Amino acid sequence: MTDAESTVSTDPRERVAVVTGGASGIGRATCARLLADGFTLAVLDLDGDAAKAAAGSTGLGLVADVSDAEQVEQAFATIVATFGRIDVLVNNAGISGGPAATICHETPIEEWDRVHAINSRGPFLCSRAALPVMIAQGSGHVITTASIAGQVVFPARCAYTASKGAALMFAKSLGVDYAHAGIRSNAVCPGFVQTPMTQWRLDVPELREKVEGAIPIGRVAQPEDLADAIALLASDRLSYMTGAALVVDGGWTAL
């Protein structure tokens, strides 16, 4: 056993997980699953009340915009002061962009920047804040919610596709750069998930039929499907897996 391995707690009740964008959708389901698995949570979201609810009675809910360096630094300082460690960081906060975020020449620069600020700058800032703590511990796991859009193109969503490609490669980069420090990094790549962000499309019968017709399993994912994948990574049962993408898309990209 290495020194790094000897510092990893075998009791999940002693482990602290930080989840960004934890107030709704995949993030909220992930918080519920990690709480059930015994983790202590710190939840970051723009909705402070919902973040506190998602963190549970033993956790910490904080208001933070993951694209704002000062807010991220303050949030992580509070987390470390409260719990003394960070074992798992789930970079989950993300946006798809509004209707204006479409094909390249029609996408306003400010909309491109907004999507990338959350989807790629956010994981960078949060990881940058968490990694020194993990390095000092000799252990840690960064789990980034990317997308199959980081592997295959979502038509007319160039900002989103590019941002998720960046998030995926960022996760791989961390896996390579910090393996020597006992830190792992992986990405979870969802397909179409039923969340508040996608509900508008699913509420239109012909659009839902089109989406589900492209998925071999025949249904869109629920947030709990992704929470299961994130929890599996967070459990350390896949301890040899780093710098990888765990695809959870109902077979979409297998076609």
Sheet with 60-63, strands from edge to edge, namely: 60-63, 40-45, 16-20, 88-91, 140-145, 183-190, 244-248
CA 44 to chain centre: 12
- Burial of residue 105, with CB atoms counted within 10 A of its CB: 0-12 exposed, 13-18 middle, 19 or more buried: exposed
Query: Please, which residues bridge with residue 142 across strands?
Result: 89, 185
Measured distance CA(123)–CA(94) in Å, rounded: 9
Q: Which of 43, 145, 46, 22 is CA-nearest to residue 86? A: 43
Q: Is 178 a catalytic residue?
A: no
Measured distance CA(51)–CA(61) in Å, rounded: 5
Q: Which two tokens stand for residue 174?
A: 């961390």
Residue 253 is classified by DSSP as G
Catalytic entry in 76, 112, 160, 192: 160
Catalogue the active-site residues: 160
